[in-house]
Structure 1
Amino acid sequence: MYGNGMKQLEERHVPTKVLKMEWSNKMDLLAIAKEHGEVSLHRLTWQRVWSLAAPKDKTLVTALAWRPDGKQLAIAYDSCDLLLVDVENKDIAFSKTTESKVTSLMWVQHEKPQKKDTIDSVLIKMNGLDYLPKLQSLVLRDTPEEENKIPKVQDTLNLLLVGMANCEVQILALGIFLCGSIKLAEIFKKEGTVLNIYMPVDFSYLYVAIQYYYGSIEIVTIKLQDCDTCWDDVYDLAFKHDQLLSSLDYLDQTMKNILETWEHVSLMEMELKLSSYCPEDPEMVSTDLLELLIYGILTERMDQFLKRDLTDKGIKKIGLSIESSHTNVQKLVVNQLSEVTNQILFQLVEISGMSLKKYECLGLTEHSVEKALRSVNGFLMKCNEVQIVIEESLTRYKLFFKWLYGMMIKLNDENSASDPSLSDTSQHELNMLAEYINGLGETGSKAKDYKLDRVGQYFLDGDLECPYDARSQWWSLLQDNPCLEENELILTAPRGHSLTRQFAVLKADLMDIFAQRKTFFDKTFVFHENVALELPSGLSHGRTRVSMVDLPNHKLLVCCVRELGAHDFGFYELMAYSDTLEVTHRSTTVFYSCNGVKQNVHDVQFYSHDYVSVLTETLDEATNRFSLFIQLSTNSVRSHCSTNGLTTCRIGQPSGDSDGEGSCHTLNDYTCRVVENMAASSFAVSGTRKVAVLLSHSRHKVRLFEMEVDDEEDEDEDSAMDITRDSNLTDETV
C-alpha cells in the first residue's frame, strides 16, 4: 500500500554548488556532482563516503548513472571523459574518451527467463585461470588491511547507454565493451543533441529523446529484433573483455610497482663518480681498473680516487642497495609480471577460439587476436630476458664491489687476512670481472657517461642502449636467415625494445582486439515512426528536461518540462507496434494553479511507473516563495490523455473564479508536501529506495526525505522539524 507521507531526514548546507544528483537503486547512496567537476557519495544521514576530483581542470559533470547492482558509478564530463568508478573504494575501473560531450547516461540490466545452459555458455564461463597460480597482492608493503582486490566479472548482461551532444548513442555491454553505435544525425539528416535515453529491462526497444538545433523535440523509437542468442553472444564477448581488462589492469599496476621499486635505489652516485674520474678520457677508468686487477699496478690517479672519492662504508651501502633493488624487481618480474602475462596468454587463447566461430559479427577478428598473441609471447620473452640480465648483473655487481672493497682495505693498510672472502676469487670470477670492467666505458649514451646499470634501461620507454647479447645458436640462425621471422610458428621479441616499450605494444594490440568496427546492430535496429513533442506553452524553446518510464505491452510514458519559465509540463503515452512500425501517442498538458493562477513548474521526474513527481513554486499571502513537492498518479493523468493533445489537466481543486475551459480536467489522485523556508529548483527521486532529495535555487542547500511513510509518522516529524527548521547546518565530512 502506497503511503502518503514524506519524512524529512536531513537538511544540509553545501559549501560548493550542487549541479546534479542521482540515487542508487540498490543502496541508500546519493551521488552528487558539484562545481569544478567534483563528485561525492553520501548516505541518507549525509555522511560522506568519498569524494572524487575531476580528471581535468575546469571540467563539469554532464551525466551520472549507477550500475544496476550498485557497485559502480558512471560519470561523464564535458571534457568528453567517461569514467566507471568503483563505489567501494572510488578506484577508476574503466575510462574512455568519447567523440562528443556526453549529455545522458542510462545503465540497464537484462532480465529474461532462465534458459538451460548451452555448451557455448558453459565453456565461456568456465574459468581456466583457476588452474594457474593465484596472483599475488599488488601492494608492496605487507599490511593486512591493504590487500589486492581483483575486480570480479559480472555474471549478468547489462548495457550502459551513452547519449551525446552530436546525436550519437553508444551501447556499452558491461559498461566497457562497445557493441553498438547509432549516429542519429546521419540517419535523420538533422543536427541535434540527445536529451535522454531509455531502454526496458527486456532490451526490446530503445527510446531516445532528441532536441534539434532549431528547437523541436522528438522521441525516436528503435526496435531491437528478437535475438536472445545474439545478446548471449554479446555477453560472452563482453565477459571475456572484462576478464582481459582486469588482467591488463593488474599488469599495468605491476609495471608501475616495478618502476617505483627501481627508482628508489639507483646507481647514479657511483656512475657519477666514475664519470668524473677522467672526463677528458672516458676509457681511462677502465684501463686503470684493469691494470690494477690484472697486473696489480696502482696509478696515482686511481690511488687518489680510491682514497678520496670512495669510502668503505659508501661502497658497502651502494652494494647492499643495488642488491636489494635488483632482488625486489626480480621478485616482481617472476612472481607477478610473468604470472599475469601467462593469464593474459590463456585468455587470448580462449578468445582466439571464439574468433573462429560466430563472434566475428561483433567485430572479433582472427587477425587482431593472432597479433595480440604474438605481442604477449614477445612480452614474455622480454620478461625472461630481464630475469637473465638481473641475475647476471647481480653476480657482476657483487663481484665488482667485493673486489673494489678489498682494494680499499689494502690501501688503508688494514689486515685483509681477517676476511678471507675478500681475497678468495676464482679464475672464472676474475675473467668475468675483467670482462665487466672492460665494457664499462662503452655503454654510455654520451662520451663522458659511465653506465654500471644494465637493468634500468629495460624500464625506460625507448630502445635499449645496450641490448642483451644472447650468444645462442638460435639467435645466430635467425639473424642469418631473416625469412624465418616471417614464419607464424616462430615467435621473436624485438631485440632493441625495452620492457616498457614492449608493454606499450602489448597494451595497444590487446585494446585493438575490441576496437574493431561493430556491425552486429546494423542489421538488428529497426526504426519506428518518430513522435514530435509539442506543447501550447512552447516546449521547443529553451532547454528541456525529459523523463521516461516504460509500461507493459511496449508502452512508454514521457514527461517534458522547460528548465526555465515553465507553467506546465507535457505528459505523453506512446505505444509501438512492431508489425507496422507505427507509434501511437496520446498526450495532455498538466499544470498546478493557486487562486486561479498557474504556478511555476521547475522539475518533473518519474518516481515509478505509477507515480510522477512534480516540483512547483508558489507564493503565500505574505508573498514569500515556497515550493510544493507533488506525487501525482500516472493512471489519473493517462485517463485524460487524448490523441489530439488538446486536453489540459489541473492539479488540485479549481477556485471559484477560475477559467471555465471545458477541456480542463481536475486531478485529485495526488499527495502534496509543502517545502517550507526553501525555494527548490530540482530534485532526484528513487521509487525503489523510497527516497527523495530537493535542491534549493541557490544550489547550496539540500533536503533529504524518506517517501511512502505513514501519515502519523509524517505529522510527528513535521512538529519536530518546525523547532529546528531554521537551524544552520553545515556539511559534514567523514
Structure 2
Amino acid sequence: MKVNDTLPFTDHSQFSFPLFHWKNLKKQAKQIVWCPTQDLAVIVFMDNMIALCRDGWSPIWEMSAPDATEVTALVWNPNGEEFAIGFSNGSVRRVDATCAEPKYIVYTPPPTSFSTSSITKGASGRSGSLKITSLAWVHFPRKENNFKDITHGFDPKAMEFTNEIPALNMEPPDEPAPLALFLKQKKPPLPDPPSKASEGKHTLLLVGDNYGRIHLSLNGTYHIGTMSVRADGKAKDKGHIIATGIGPTLSTVQALVQKSTEKREMFTMDSSILLAKRNELCNIAEEQKHVGFLLRYINQCVSLLNKHHTTIRQLAEQSSGEIARLLLERNDQMDPMPQIELLGLISTGNTSEPVHAYFTQYLTEQQVKRWESRSGQSYGNLQKLINEYLEPACSRLLHRLHRLRGYSLWTERYSGLIDISGVETCIDTTQLLLKRLIFYRISIDKVCIEFREFIKWILHMVEKFGERDTEQQQQQNQTDGTSYDPWLVVSYIKKSFATDGLAEYFTVYPGLESSDKRWKQTGFLQLANSLTEMCSNMLDRPSNMISTQTRILKKHSIQFKDQQIQRKSARSFASWVTGEETSSNAIQYYAFARENDRGAIVTIVKKCLEEPYTVSYASGRLENVRIHDIEFLDAQELGMVIESTKASRSFLGTINYPDLSYTTLKTDLLVSGDTTTKTPIARHMELTRVSNVIFGANGRTRRRIMETIGSNKKAYIFLMDD
C-alpha cells in the first residue's frame, strides 16, 4: 500500500496555501500567537525567550522570562497594542507592543489562604506553586447611557478641572552626583502615564490558574474578582483551568478544566454582576489606573528624595566623623562631640589640637569644594523634587481620590463597590504627606542657606590654618573676615553637622497604625508605602463583592474512554467563541485531539452560552496520522498539523467545523471513544522538510496569515487566502 493511500486526504481536498516568506530561525520555537489587528506575532522559544516579530519572521525585540520561569500562556489584547504573558511563577506581564523595546507592567493575582500555603510548600519541594495556565482577553464595553438616565441638571464634565492643577514633570529627575566626576549619572525613567487614547476603552483579562480559579482583571491591571470552579472555593480535588472565555453579552464566563488526561469539565459560571455593574466598574477602573500611576510616580520620587537626603547626610558625617576620630586619638576615655569643638572655635577663635589637625591634615580646599558641589546639587534637587514632582502629583492624587469619594456617596449605584471611610482615610494620608512635604521644603530652604554660610566659614578656616605667610593671612582675614554670617554657621553646626536635623522626615515606626499619635510625625517612605497599601485596600471592595456573587450555573464533563497514546505535542485542544457583540445566541466551540493505535480522533463540542446551555458534539477519525498542533483559524475553519505515523511527512489540514453534523448531548456527561466516522478534511497542504511543526494564524479578514515552525527551526509564512 502506498503512503498516499494511508493518509485521510483526497484530491478533492487538495489546496495550496500561497507562500509569503520563509526563514531559518536561530532557536527552536514552541508557541506562536498572532496579533488580531496587525501583522505582528509573538514567538516563544524553547529557552522561554519571547520575541515580538513583524510578519512573523522579522524580530523587533526580545525579552526573557523572569527568574528562569516558564512561559505557560500568552494572549493579545483585542486592540492589538499589547499582549499578556503568563508564567509558571504565578505572575502575568502586560507587555506594550507599540514600543521599540520591551516595556511591561506586572499583574499578580492575589493569593488565597490555600494557594499561599501551597506556594510555601512548593519552596521546600513538597507541593507545587501557583501557576498561570490560561489567558483570555476580551472587550468590556461600557453600557451607553440614555439621556433619561442622566440626572436632570447634572453636567457629567463638571468635575473636569485637572487642567488647573500643575502639570506633572515627566523628565526623569537627577540622581545624586557620583563620587567620581567621570562617572555618568543614571536617570531611571519615571512610570509611563496612562494613555489618553485608551480612555473609555476597557477590556477584561481572564487569568486561569492551576487551582481551578479564574481571576478577573479589568484592563489587565485592576483585579476585580476571582471565580472558582468549585462551589466551596477550596483547593481540594483541584483542576487546571486550560481555557477561559466570556460570551458577547458578558452574562456568563466559560471555563474548561483538565481533571486528568482522560477527563475534562466545561463550566458555565454566572457573571451577571459584571453586566449589571460594568459602567460602575469601568468608572472605578479609570480612577484606579490614574491612582496606580500617581502612586508609582510618588514612590519613585520619594525614594529619590531619600537618596539625596542620605547623600547630604553622609558627606556631613564623613567630615564630623574625622573630627571624632582625631578626638578619640587624643583621649579615648571621652565621648567625641565634633560640633562642640567647632562651636568653640567660632565663638572663641581658639583651636584644640584635634581641630587644628582637622583643618591642616584632613581638609583641603578641593575637598571642601567637592563637598559643597555634591551637597549643593542634592539640596537643589530636593527643592525641585518637591516643587515640580511631588506637590503636583499629590494634588492630582487628591483630585482622583475625591472623584472616588464622589462615587462612594452615590450609594444607589456604588454601594458595595466603594467604601467612603476607606477613601477618606486615603485622602487624609495624602494630605498629611503633602503637608509634611511643604514643611520639609521650608526646612530645606533654611538649611541650604545655613550650609552655604558654613562652607564659606570652612573655606576661611582652611585658608587660615594653611601654610601661608603672615602677610597673606592678614590680607585674607581683612578681605573675608565678614564674608559669612556666624549665626547661620552656628545654627548649621548645632543642627546639621554631626546630627541629622531633618531625620524626622524619614523616620520609620515599625507596626505604626494611623490611630497612633506618632502617625503625624512618620517619615516620607513610610507614608508613601502606607498610602499605597491603603489605596490598594480601598479598591479591593469590588473584588470581594464580585467574588462572592459569582456561582456555577452548569457543568458538563467529557470522559475519554480509550487510553490515549502519550506523545509529545504542542496542543491537544483549542477553543473559540462566535457571536456578535450584542448577540444572545453566542456559541463556545472546543476541539479535542486524541490519539490511539489506529490514528487520531477529533472531537468538536458546540456549547450554547445562553440558557438552556445546550451541548452538542461531532467526533471523527483520521487514520494513520497523529495531530501535533491544533487551533481555530476563524469562525469557519479549524486548523491542524497532521503527521503521518508511517512516513516522515507533515501536513496542514483544515476542517469546516460549523458544517459538521452535531449530535445533541442528552446528559451532562459526554463519553467519547473510538468512532467509525471519518473527519472531513476541507483543504490540506504538505509541509516539506519539517517535522514536529507548531503553527499559529491571525484570523484577520482579508489579511489572514499563518506561520509554521518545525523542530529544525525552519519557519514558513503562508497567506491563507488566494
Partner of 2:57: 46
Partner of 2:140: 110
C-alpha change, 1:522 and 1:264, in structure 2 (3 Å) is: closer
Partner of 2:643: 617
Whether 1:667 and 2:680 are equivalent positions in the alignment is yes
Whether 1:85 and 2:139 are equivalent positions in the alignment is no
Alpha-carbon distance in 2 for matches of 1:119, 1:540: 62
1:556-575 pair list within 5 angstroms: 556-562=588-594, 567-575=600-608
1:125-524 pair list within 5 angstroms: 127-140=160-173, 149-152=192-195, 153-187=198-232, 190-213=237-260, 215-225=262-272, 228-259=275-306, 266-267=314-315, 268-279=317-328, 280=332, 281-358=334-411, 360-361=414-415, 363-412=417-466, 413=468, 414-415=472-473, 417=475, 422-424=480-482, 429-439=485-495, 450-451=498-499, 453-454=500-501, 458=505, 462=508, 494=519, 496-516=521-541, 518-521=543-546
Partner of 1:25: 36
Alignment deviations for residues 680-726 of structure 1 (CA, whole Å, 9 cap, x no partner):
34322220251222232x3x62524233332xxxxxxxxxxxxxxxx
Q: Secondary structure at the match of 1:251?
A: helix
C-alpha change, 1:46 and 1:509, in structure 2 (3 Å) is: same
Partner of 1:606: 632
Q: Secondary structure at the match of 1:693?
A: strand
Q: Secondary structure at the match of 1:320?
A: helix
**1:613 Cα offset (Å):** 0.6
Alpha-carbon distance in 1 for matches of 2:260, 2:718: 39
Structure 1 stretch 231-240 or stretch 244-253: which is displaced more?
244-253
Contact 2:643 2:649 in 1 (8 A): yes
Q: Secondary structure at the match of 1:331?
A: helix
Alpha-carbon distance in 1 for matches of 2:637, 2:75: 21
Alpha-carbon distance in 1 for matches of 2:451, 2:157: 49
Contact 2:38 2:80 in 1 (8 A): yes
Partner of 1:727: none
Partner of 1:631: 654
Partner of 1:551: 578
Structure 1 stretch 268-277 or stretch 373-382: which is displaced more?
268-277
Alpha-carbon distance in 2 for matches of 1:284, 1:634: 87
Alpha-carbon distance in 1 for matches of 2:396, 2:596: 55
**1:326 Cα offset (Å):** 0.9
Contact 1:9 1:45 in 2 (8 A): no
Alpha-carbon distance in 1 for matches of 2:140, 2:400: 25
**1:90 Cα offset (Å):** 2.4
Structure 1 stretch 390-399 or stretch 283-292: which is displaced more?
283-292
Alpha-carbon distance in 2 for matches of 1:563, 1:432: 87
Q: TM-score, normalised by structure 1?
A: 0.79
Structure 1 stretch 334-343 or stretch 295-304: which is displaced more?
295-304
Q: Secondary structure at the match of 1:103?
A: strand
**1:433 Cα offset (Å):** 2.5
Contact 2:251 2:274 in 1 (8 A): no
Alpha-carbon distance in 2 for matches of 1:226, 1:92: 30
Q: Secondary structure at the match of 1:278?
A: helix
Q: Secondary structure at the match of 2:589?
A: strand
C-alpha change, 1:137 and 1:605, in structure 2 (3 Å) is: same
Q: What is the one-letter code of the residue matched to 1:302?
A: V
**Number of equivalenced pairs:** 645
Contact 1:574 1:584 in 2 (8 A): yes
Alignment deviations for residues 51-79 of structure 1 (CA, whole Å, 9 cap, x no partner):
222332x3111111211112222111111
**1:415 Cα offset (Å):** 4.7
Alpha-carbon distance in 1 for matches of 2:162, 2:415: 27
Q: What is the one-letter code of the residue matched to 2:168?
A: L
Q: What is the one-letter code of the residue matched to 1:423?
A: G
Alpha-carbon distance in 2 for matches of 1:564, 1:42: 37
**1:409 Cα offset (Å):** 2.0
Partner of 1:686: 698
**1:667 Cα offset (Å):** 2.2
Q: What is the one-letter code of the residue matched to 2:81?
A: K
Contact 1:570 1:589 in 2 (8 A): yes
Partner of 2:553: 528
**1:127 Cα offset (Å):** 4.1
Q: Secondary structure at the match of 2:167?
A: coil
Consecutive unaligned residues in structure 2, runs of 5 or more: 1-13, 112-129, 175-184, 580-584
Q: What is the one-letter code of the residue matched to 1:462?
A: V
C-alpha change, 1:457 and 1:11, in structure 2 (3 Å) is: farther
Structure 1 stretch 86-95 or stretch 183-192: which is displaced more?
183-192
Name the Cα RMSD after superposition. Answer: 3.7
Contact 1:692 1:705 in 2 (8 A): yes
C-alpha change, 1:227 and 1:312, in structure 2 (3 Å) is: closer
Consecutive unaligned residues in structure 1, runs of 5 or more: 442-449, 465-484, 650-660, 711-734
Alpha-carbon distance in 2 for matches of 1:540, 1:219: 23
Contact 1:531 1:583 in 2 (8 A): no
Alpha-carbon distance in 2 for matches of 1:112, 1:425: 68
Partner of 1:724: none
**1:563 Cα offset (Å):** 8.6
Structure 1 stretch 275-284 or stretch 405-414: which is displaced more?
275-284
Partner of 1:65: 75
Alpha-carbon distance in 1 for matches of 2:679, 2:84: 40
Contact 2:263 2:560 in 1 (8 A): no
**1:292 Cα offset (Å):** 1.7
C-alpha change, 1:297 and 1:224, in structure 2 (3 Å) is: closer
Structure 1 stretch 674-683 or stretch 47-56: which is displaced more?
47-56
Q: Secondary structure at the match of 1:615?
A: strand
Partner of 1:722: none
Whether 1:76 and 2:86 are equivalent positions in the alignment is yes
Contact 1:179 1:362 in 2 (8 A): no
